[in-house]
Amino acid sequence: MNPPVAVAEIWRGPFLESIHTAHAVICDSSGQIVEAWGDPDKVILPRSSSKMIQALPLINSGAADKAGLGTEQLALACASHQGAAIHTDRVGAWLKTLGLDDHAFRCGPQEPDDRDARDALIRAHEQPCQIHNNCSGKHAGFLTLTKFLDAGPDYVDPEHPVQKACLDAFETVTNETSPGYGIDGCSAPNYACSLHGMARAMAHFAAAPDGSAEARLHQAMRLHPDLVAGETRACTELMRAMDGKVALKTGAEGFFIAILPEQKLGVALKATCGTTRAAECAIAAILVKLGALDANHPATLKRMNAPIMNRRGIQTGTVKPGSAFI
């Protein structure tokens, strides 16, 4: 077991104030490790970085095509969105085509991260609904599959046919037997695997032929980066910075994946501290290392070699890539 490596450093003036560590793996189309930092065998929960895997049964079952889902819905099925109108309007329209409303969800209400949407709710003296939940697109996909299977309403139950299909897809693409699951923030089971297994799964997506469920999902993500996350978010801004050539997806507690179809590579990383700034700096550094991301692009510089500003607008420090990438 290898220890985690330094992937991000926080400098305040001339002082190294903090160090963030992580484990990371790059896999090729054969599932072999191209490069690794830390422990590739580390057992992890990929959290929302696994959403495209959870969406595989939606397509492979025939449910997506029967429901007439397009690339926008497929991108939302993989999304951790901001709850902006661009997201909730589309998820709401999707629900209507299923003959359902917000009460059918099992993800729980969430205050939107989008400031305009949040302020609009406050001004209207309204409470957030489940459609504002960052996972509502994934859950709309679950509901679509539930209707197709004519299954019961509690689609987040690990014994429900939808979740059994998700587990089968997860174990297939990771090429591992999952040791178990944790319950995610949206109440669905989130299956565990090794970090190598997750990178292997992402390389599988990257190498998948056109027309496959895997290709349709990462193509939808790359076509609609604004739906996958939202304005100011790393997934959206970095995908735009790479001209839609790479699919990115964050997960809670410092997780990140990348799917690089042109290079047929998959990346998975876990920041041991669980912080967003560590994971974003690390994924940016890896993408720069792979030649997929311009180190000087403004979206990159917000995460890697990024200034830390105080409330007076004075730069007080910098977030730099750690020694693992030097």
Per the CB < 8 A criterion, the answer to whether 181 and 134 are in contact is no
pLDDT at position 326: 78
CATH number of 24-273: 3.40.710
Beta bridge pairs of residue 39: none
pLDDT (tens digit per residue) in 154-179? 999 999 999 999 999 999 999 999 99
pTM: 0.97
Mean pLDDT of the chain: 97
pLDDT at position 1: 82
pLDDT at position 100: 98
Exposure string for 36-66, b = 16+ CB within 10 A, e = fewer: bbbbbebebbbbbbbbbbbbbbbbbbebbee
pLDDT at position 128: 97
pLDDT (tens digit per residue) in 215-249? 999 999 999 999 999 999 999 999 999 999 999 99
3-state secondary structure (DSSP) of residue 134: coil
pLDDT (tens digit per residue) in 95-153? 999 999 999 999 999 999 999 999 999 999 999 999 999 999 999 999 999 999 999 99
